[in-house]
């Protein structure tokens, strides 16, 4: 393609080529059938044009079944084949590899707020190291948004009240558009910025320019104490200790939880979040529904920190060492210092999307 | 099909009064009419007004998108403009377009009935449409609505500061107008066919309208109640859809798309019915694979209800549900493909005329093929993740709705105009306009496929500068398309007074509607027709020499 | 389909677009059934919302459902089934041309329908006094306040829509009273009564499902 | 189609069956059937089963579908079918959410 007038966006993630290939496959099929139909129509239009008034087309009876079967079954098999290919690509695009580093994203009208695993935060910008698989765990403070980076060929709706995730492994350093793809109100088209893919060294350097703060798990742990969650859930102490008033959170994440009422669910991010803001919705079997709600007392980003902390207490995903969180739990909150931008602010060195 | 008993030269008998004048020309006789043909004319007037209002919205949207910066109107105004365009075009133009106008006019005539089964309900449908139309205009004049035509929650229930409730009331009422039409068609087609007119002698236009009516009747109530819940949630603060109150926004999407995906087939199926008629009439040949085309309509209607989740691959729906929806979407593409192949095969060994309706029909087949192919691309999960909610989707559904539905509507209007009004239009200008529409349409929407794949999201008021060239092309195309739409409006209007008088069967086509006068009398036929033949049977065509005077146009054309 | 030899029956009720009363009756009956299909889907949207929310918050729904009066609900179910019986008998009376009996059964149906609505008013006013009506003034002292509010949102939406249908039905029934009294319905022409009956029975069926779904969640627990 | 007058006796029997059904529904609600049989959610299944049976009785007899043509039955069934499609496919999304 000529550079000034691209037909395909830059392919800057590990899955981009696969998506493009799938598209190319469909394009070839589409071009074939469209051309076939167009050529046939033109040829018939010219060749069988009416030559005299009152002329009639062929009234011969024809057997249609063989042709009908041909042009039903061939497209059917093609479509089913493409369906399988499409599903395959879909799972490649959506299933995060185990080594993906988790970032936390909060969408709100009309900005993206990102928390790096190191605790650094940024707004309407995302810095990631090249070659590293990263997973965005995302939620929204208000309406539905959609996290979309065309160069990575990934998109995922960001819903209020639950977590969704998107992952990518950038393969090229550079600057790529980050869009909100789900219409979210007045400044929908301005809700976005750039993803900066940096080399590993540049990323470290970039992280160092911001004030270092506690990791997201550590701020979660601090919050856990400040909100006195630990008085009932006791996770700071010995993982084996038996809590009296509430279930232990050690090893909770990813585990099957039996609920009062007989149902069993998997403890995922959304469940942990719901248990904080609406604790009585799903009470663990054998415990009283005595936990008060924390709705309105914690922001969506603090919720993310709490969820990240509970995740770090072990479970299906690799956990942060318990000692680490315990040690940092006592540190004063540093969240304000680590902010890298105010809401609405466009970070230095970045052009607004719309000039 | 033919009438065994009717005299072929009925138009010559001067005492036959057409439906247009038989009850007088005064306004009251029109506003209280129960004649399906007059109601069709009333509907043509109403939907034309809304079409141009929706087109004005599109024009302003395209003008704003000439430059990357949002510089012509405010972001908020832009959002209200594209919502206006979407709501008006979807609910007030595309859904009623063919059924309420051409369908209303032709369904009873094509089956040899005197009227629809429930004429009063038919008139009520038109009144409901207009009441809904007035409400939506009121909402627009008060300041409009900014949710997009999809009304996604919780934006529509909690966050939008525009006239959402009023618009929803309008769409709700309009839904009943649509249901009344569908219900009337189903009953009429079942119960009022002329003697001898068996199901497999029905014109494919009737099959298409039957399938459309099924969708209207089964789907519309669901979107009505869903939008009603949105309005109630918005006014009373209950929490069915807003997660902040315990609701579930994905549930809204399920309920919304349960109707709104099949609604696409409400728009395209009648158009397909028109194309079947046009292809048969202007190739003077029976539609190839009649039974398959007929069943394809029903298959599309039924399968169309099983695929709504392909709008939700990235919405948070389960991947497994996504797979089911994806594979079913592949299945629904097959009957559409069957139709395209059959129309093409009909041309083979036909006697193909180059009259305006045929130009629209052939344009339709090409554009619908592109629209359909990109549709299955979107139903392919791996691609949809990237292009979902981008201009690729915008381009795709405009190929279906404008390249498909509107081309079919215009083609049908040009085909049956002599029957409806008794007048011919200037065919030179009509051909020019058909070509303008085709060229303008492609120039408008083809660049949008590229834009979408490049990653430009839909509903964007401002966009990165690298997308400008394609947007300028698109706006340029829209201008041509606009002229292409204004032309028919002008010459068709002109023809009402100055157009040459049409004979009963100016195209030399088959079908009961061509056996009666142009325009038809109030009860459609002077003698109740009896059908003895299949549809599109041209075997006796040459023998009926008395038809020749009807073909004066054609004699001129092929002299 | 029309018969080729059909002669026009001279009946005041025959509309011009039909050839025979028989055709007119079949068309209007089919029309009513198709309308009922749209009604199924209309309520269907609410049932779908109910199903999903109930699955998400079963415990909350059960908790909220405890605050509904099963006695009143069951009583109303019986009343509505009774009204369906009188409605069916009214159709029967119309079919055999017994105008006064038809009138009586119609009055009975209207009466039972009114009783149902009266009980509904009592139930609604209880909910209003207990602040169990969703919205700003909703107040819930028990467990699961959020799910309870969703439950009551659906409760009022579903029973409210049902009650609206009852009111409409009573209106149509009232319009049948005078012609019935005057003996206008006969074996040849009783379609208005029959079609109203179809509608009334449909409304009854909706309640047959609403009663266990709304009043009887987790009562055994 | 000739007029079919259903004898009144049929209506009375159906009415009785519906009343019994209502009583059974209320009864089924208060007895813990799951505990008795070990089948989870049996109460709901039984209650809805009775409701479906009652609805079928009303449709067949009160609404005369038993005595009407195939088209009427087909119309009713298509309504039910598409309601089931709406409910089951939507539910299938929620039931398979945890699978990935």
CATH top class, domain C21-215: mainly alpha
Give every CB contact of residue A59 below 8 A, 6+ residues apart in sequence: B285, B286, B537, B538, B539
Q: DSSP for A222-246?
A: HHHHHTTTHHHH-TTS-TT---SSS
pLDDT at C6 over 80: no
D100 touches chain A (CB under 8 A): yes
pLDDT at C10 over 70: no
Q: Which of B167, B164, B163 is nearest to B175 (CA)?
A: B167
CATH code reported for the domain at A8-38+71-212+336-346:
2.60.40.420
Choose the weakest-confidence range: A66-70, B80-84, B378-382, C130-134.
C130-134
Largest Cα span, chain C: 73
Phi, psi of B429 (to 5 degrees): -65, -35
Instruction: Provide the 10 A C-beta neighbour count for residue D70.
Output: 7
pLDDT band at D80 (very low <50, low <70, confident <90, very high): very high
Q: 3-state SS string over B358-389?
A: HHHHHHHHHHHHHHHHHHHHHHCHHHHHHHCC
pLDDT at B120 over 80: yes
Q: Which chain A residue lies closest to B78 (C-alpha atoms)?
A: A186
Yes or no: say if B391 and B463 are a contact pair by the CB < 8 Å rule: no
Predicted model pTM: 0.92
Query: A149 has which bridge partners?
Result: A154
pLDDT at B13 over 60: no
Judge: A54–B551 Cβ closer than 8 Å, yes or no. Answer: yes
pLDDT band at B546 (very low <50, low <70, confident <90, very high): low
Judge: A72–B377 Cβ closer than 8 Å, yes or no. Answer: no
Chain centroid to CA B82? 20
In this structure, what is the dihedral angle of CA atoms A237, A242, A246, A252, given to the nearest 10 degrees? 70
pLDDT band at A240 (very low <50, low <70, confident <90, very high): low
Average pLDDT estimate for C58-81: 93
Average pLDDT estimate for A145-167: 95
Residue A153 region by backbone torsions, left for phi larger than 0, else alpha for psi between -120 and 50, else beta? left
Judge: A262–D40 Cβ closer than 8 Å, yes or no. Answer: yes
Average pLDDT estimate for B127-135: 97
Residues from chain A contacting residue D40 (CB–CB below 8 Å): 262
Q: How far apart are CA B167 and CA B91, in angstroms?
A: 11
C48 touches chain D (CB under 8 A): yes
pLDDT at C210 over 60: yes
Domain coordinates of chain D in residue numbers? 1-68, 69-100
**Residue A349's pLDDT is what?**
34
**Residue A346's pLDDT is what?**
35
Q: What single DSSP character describes residue A344?
A: T
| Pairing verdict, β A164-168 and A154-158 | unpaired
Q: Which of B52, B2, B34, B36 is nearest to B109 (CA)?
A: B36
In this structure, what is the dihedral angle of CA atoms A234, A237, A243, A247, given to the nearest 10 degrees? 60
In a domain, B107, yes or no: yes
Residue of D85, D86, D97 lying closest to B318 (CB–CB): D97
Q: How far apart are CA A153 and CA A14, in angstroms?
A: 10
Gap from C150 CA to chain B (nearest CA, Å): 6
Residue of A56, A72, A87 lying closest to B323 (CB–CB): A87
**Residue A243's pLDDT is what?**
65
**Residue D97's pLDDT is what?**
84
Yes or no: say if A224 and A218 are a contact pair by the CB < 8 Å rule: no
pLDDT at C12 over 90: no
B218 touches chain D (CB under 8 A): yes
Choose the weakest-confidence range: B356-360, B526-530, C17-21, C141-145.
C141-145
Domain coordinates of chain A in residue numbers? 8-38+71-212+336-346, 216-330
**Residue A328's pLDDT is what?**
35
* pLDDT tens figures, D33-47: 888 787 778 888 999
Choose the weakest-confidence range: A336-345, C83-92, C157-166.
A336-345
Q: Which of B437, B444, B435, B464 is nearest to B395 (CA)?
A: B444
Residues from chain A contacting residue C146 (CB–CB below 8 Å): 278, 280-281
Topology of the domain covering A216-330: Cytochrome Bc1 Complex; Chain D, domain 2 (1.10.760)
* ipTM, interface predicted TM-score of the complex: 0.91
pLDDT at A18 over 70: yes
pLDDT band at B326 (very low <50, low <70, confident <90, very high): very high
Mean pLDDT for chain D overall: 90
Q: How far apart are CA B472 and CA B4, in angstroms?
A: 58
List the structure tokens of B417.
Answer: 């105009």
Name the D residues in 3-42 with CB < 8 Å from any A CB: 40
A355 touches chain B (CB under 8 A): yes
Strand residue runs (E) in chain C: none
Omega before residue A221 within 30° of 0, cis: no
Residues from chain D contacting residue A265 (CB–CB below 8 Å): 98
Q: Helix or strand or coil: residue B318?
A: coil
**Residue D100's pLDDT is what?**
56
The burial of C75, by beta-carbon neighbours within 10 Å (0-12 exposed, 13-18 middle, 19 or more buried), is given as: middle
| Pairing verdict, β A154-158 and A111-115 | unpaired
In a domain, B17, yes or no: no
Average pLDDT estimate for C173-197: 93
Choose the weakest-confidence range: A76-90, A304-318, B435-449.
A304-318
Choose the weakest-confidence range: A128-132, A344-348, B173-177.
A344-348
Yes or no: say if A160 and B245 are a contact pair by the CB < 8 Å rule: no
Average pLDDT estimate for B212-224: 96
pLDDT at A308 over 70: yes
Q: Which chain B residue lies closest to D100 (C-alpha atoms)?
A: B319
Question: What percent of chain B lies above the pLDDT cut of 70?
Answer: 95
Report the sign of the C-alpha dihedral through residues C66, C68, C69, C72, in that order. Answer: negative
pLDDT at B174 over 60: yes
**Residue A301's pLDDT is what?**
85
* pLDDT tens figures, D9-19: 999 999 999 99
Q: How far apart are CA A305 and CA A272, in angstroms?
A: 11
Average pLDDT estimate for A107-136: 92
Mean pLDDT for chain A overall: 83
Range of the domain at B93: 37-557
**Residue B543's pLDDT is what?**
52
Q: Provide the terminal-to-terminal Cα distance of chain C, rounded to the nearest Å.
A: 57
* pLDDT tens figures, A314-355: 764 433 333 333 333 333 333 333 333 443 333 333 333 333
What CATH number is attached to the domain comprising B496? 1.20.210.10
Judge: D25–C209 Cβ closer than 8 Å, yes or no. Answer: no
- Burial code of B87-103, b = ≥16 C-beta within 10 A, e = fewer? bbbbbbbbbbbbbbbbb
Tell me which chains share at least 3 CB pairs under 8 Å with chain C. Answer: A, B, D
A165 compared with B540, residue with greater pLDDT = A165
**Residue A283's pLDDT is what?**
83
- Domain count within chain B: 1
pLDDT at B498 over 80: yes
Judge: C78–D19 Cβ closer than 8 Å, yes or no. Answer: yes
List the structure tokens of C20.
Answer: 């025979």
Gap from C104 CA to chain B (nearest CA, Å): 30
C-D contacts (CB, under 8 Å): 129
A176 compared with A225, residue with greater pLDDT = A176
**Residue C57's pLDDT is what?**
87
Average pLDDT estimate for C39-64: 93
Choose the weakest-confidence range: B259-273, B443-457, C132-146.
C132-146
Gap from A204 CA to chain C (nearest CA, Å): 44
Tell me which chains share at least 3 CB pairs under 8 Å with chain D. Answer: A, B, C
């Amino acid at each position: 393609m000529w550079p000034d007038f691209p037909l395909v966006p830059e392919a800057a993630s590990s899955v981009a080529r696969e998506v493009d290939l799938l598209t190319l496959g469909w394009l070839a099929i589409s071009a074939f059938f469209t051309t076939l139909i167009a050529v046939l129509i033109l040829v018939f239009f010219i060749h069988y044009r009416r030559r005299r008034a009152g002329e009639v087309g062929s009234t011969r009876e024809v057997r249609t079944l063989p042709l009908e079967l041909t042009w039903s079954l061939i497209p059917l098999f093609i479509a089913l084949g493409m369906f399988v290919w499409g599903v395959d690509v879909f799972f490649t695009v959506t299933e995060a590899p185990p080594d993906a580093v988790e970032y936390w994203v909060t969408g709100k009208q009309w900005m993206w707020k990102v928390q790096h695993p190191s605790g650094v935060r940024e707004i309407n910008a995302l810095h990631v190291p090249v070659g590293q698989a990263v997973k965005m765990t995302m939620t929204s403070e208000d309406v539905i948004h959609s996290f979309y980076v065309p160069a990575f060929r990934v998109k995922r709706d960001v819903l209020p009240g639950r977590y969704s995730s998107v992952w990518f492994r950038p393969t090229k350093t550079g600057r790529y558009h980050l869009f909100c793809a789900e219409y979210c109100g007045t400044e929908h088209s301005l809700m976005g910025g750039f993803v900066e893919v940096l080399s590993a060294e540049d990323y470290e350097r970039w992280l160092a320019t911001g004030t270092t703060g506690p990791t997201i798990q550590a701020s979660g742990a601090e919050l856990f104490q400040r909100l006195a969650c630990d008085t009932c859930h006791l996770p700071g102490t010995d993982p084996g200790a038996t809590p009296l008033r509430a279930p232990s959170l050690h090893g909770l994440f990813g585990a099957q939880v039996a609920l009062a009422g007989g149902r069993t669910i998997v403890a995922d991010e959304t469940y942990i979040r719901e248990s904080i803001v609406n604790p009585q919705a799903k009470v663990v079997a054998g415990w009283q529904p005595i936990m008060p709600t924390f709705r309105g007392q914690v922001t969506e980003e603090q919720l993310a920190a709490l969820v990240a902390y509970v995740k770090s207490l072990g479970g299906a995903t690799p956990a942060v060492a318990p000692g680490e969180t315990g040690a940092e739990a006592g540190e004063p909150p540093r969240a304000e210092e680590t902010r890298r931008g105010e809401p609405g602010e466009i970070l230095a060195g970045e052009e607004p999307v719309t000039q | 099909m033919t009438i065994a008993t009717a005299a072929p030269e009925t138009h010559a008998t001067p005492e036959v009064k057409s439906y247009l004048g038989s009850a007088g020309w005064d306004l009251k006789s029109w506003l209280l009419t129960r004649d399906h043909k007059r109601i069709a004319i009333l509907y043509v007037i109403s939907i034309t007004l809304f079409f141009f209002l929706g087109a004005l919205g599109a024009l302003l949207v395209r003008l704003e998108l000439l430059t990357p910066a949002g510089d012509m109107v405010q972001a908020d105004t832009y959002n209200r403009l594209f919502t206006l365009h979407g709501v008006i075009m979807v609910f007030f133009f595309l859904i009623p377009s063919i059924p309420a106008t051409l369908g209303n006019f032709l369904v009873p005539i094509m089956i040899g009935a005197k009227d629809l089964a429930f004429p009063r309900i038919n008139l009520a449908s038109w009144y409901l449409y207009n009441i809904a139309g007035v409400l939506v205009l009121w909402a627009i004049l008060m300041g409009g609505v900014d949710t997009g035509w999809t009304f996604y929650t919780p934006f529509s229930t909690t966050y939008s500061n525009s006239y959402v409730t009023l618009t929803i009331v309008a769409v709700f009422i309009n839904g009943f107008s649509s249901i009344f039409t569908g219900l009337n068609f189903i009953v009429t087609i079942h119960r009022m066919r002329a003697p001898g007119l068996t199901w497999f002698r029905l014109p494919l236009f009737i099959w298409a309208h039957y399938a459309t009516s099924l969708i209207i009747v089964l789907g519309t109530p669901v979107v009505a109640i869903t939008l009603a819940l949105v309005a109630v949630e918005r006014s009373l603060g209950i929490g069915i859809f807003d997660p902040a109150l315990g609701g579930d926004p994905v549930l809204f999407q399920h309920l919304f798309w349960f109707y709104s995906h099949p609604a696409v087939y409400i728009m395209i199926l009648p158009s397909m019915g028109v194309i079947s008629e046009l292809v048969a009439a202007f190739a003077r040949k029976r539609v190839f694979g009649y039974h398959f085309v007929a069943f394809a309509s029903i298959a599309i209607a039924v399968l169309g209800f099983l695929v709504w989740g392909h709008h939700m691959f990235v919405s948070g729906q389960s991947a497994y549900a996504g797979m089911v929806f994806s594979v079913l979407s592949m299945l629904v593409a097959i009957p559409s493909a069957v139709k395209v192949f059959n129309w093409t095969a009909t041309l083979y060994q036909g006697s193909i005329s180059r009259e305006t309706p045929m130009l629209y029909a052939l344009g339709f087949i090409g554009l619908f093929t592109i629209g359909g192919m990109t549709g299955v691309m979107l139903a392919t999960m791996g691609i949809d993740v990237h292009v979902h909610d981008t201009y690729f989707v915008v381009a795709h559904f405009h190929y279906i709705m404008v390249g498909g539905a509107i081309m079919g509507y215009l083609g049908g209007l040009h085909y049956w105009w002599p029957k409806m009004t008794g007048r011919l239009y200037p065919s030179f200008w009509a051909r020019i306009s058909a070509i303008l529409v085709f060229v303008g349409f492609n120039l408008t929407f083809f660049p949008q496929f590229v834009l979408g794949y490049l990653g430009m999201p839909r509903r964007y008021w401002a966009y990165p500068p690298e997308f400008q060239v394609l947007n300028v092309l698109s706006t340029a195309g829209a201008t041509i398309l606009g002229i292409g739409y204004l032309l028919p409006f002008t010459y068709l209007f002109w023809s009402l007074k100055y157009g040459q008088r049409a004979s009963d069967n100016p195209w030399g086509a088959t079908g009961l509607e061509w056996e009666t006068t142009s325009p038809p009398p109030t009860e459609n036929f002077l003698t109740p027709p009896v059908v003895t033949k299949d549809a599109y049977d041209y075997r006796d065509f040459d023998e009926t020499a008395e038809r020749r005077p009807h073909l004066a146009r054609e004699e001129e054309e092929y002299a | 389909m029309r018969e080729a030899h059909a002669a026009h029956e001279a009946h005041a009720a025959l509309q011009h677009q039909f050839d025979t009363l028989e055709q007119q009756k079949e068309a209007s009956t089919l029309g009513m059934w198709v309308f009922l299909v749209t009604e199924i889907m209309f309520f269907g949207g609410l049932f779908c919302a109910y199903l999903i929310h109930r699955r998400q918050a079963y415990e909350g729904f059960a908790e909220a459902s405890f605050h509904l009066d099963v006695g009143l609900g069951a009583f109303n179910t019986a009343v509505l089934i009774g009204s369906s019986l009188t409605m069916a008998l009214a159709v029967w009376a119309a079919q055999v041309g017994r105008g006064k009996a038809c009138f009586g059964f119609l009055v009975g149906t209207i009466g039972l329908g009114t009783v149902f609505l009266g009980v509904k008013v009592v139930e609604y006013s209880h909910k209003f006094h207990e602040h169990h009506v969703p919205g700003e003034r909703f107040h819930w002292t028990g467990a699961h306040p959020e799910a309870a509010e969703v439950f009551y949102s659906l409760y009022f939406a579903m029973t409210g829509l049902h009650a609206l249908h009852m009111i409409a039905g009573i209106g149509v029934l009232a319009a049948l009273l005078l012609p019935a009294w005057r003996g206008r319905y006969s074996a040849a022409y009783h379609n208005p009564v029959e079609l109203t009956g179809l509608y009334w029975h449909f409304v009854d069926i909706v309640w047959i499902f609403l009663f266990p779904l709304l009043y009887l969640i987790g009562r055994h627990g | 189609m000739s007029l079919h007058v259903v004898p009144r006796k049929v209506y009375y029997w159906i009415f009785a069956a519906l009343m019994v059904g209502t009583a059974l529904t209320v009864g089924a609600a208060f007895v813990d059937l799951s505990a008795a049989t070990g089948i989870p959610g049996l109460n709901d299944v039984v209650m809805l089963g009775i409701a479906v049976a009652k609805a079928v009785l009303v449709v067949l007899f009160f609404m005369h579908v038993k005595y009407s043509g195939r088209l009427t039955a087909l119309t009713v069934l298509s309504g039910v079918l598409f309601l089931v499609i709406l409910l089951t496919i939507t539910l299938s999304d929620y039931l398979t959410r945890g699978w990935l």
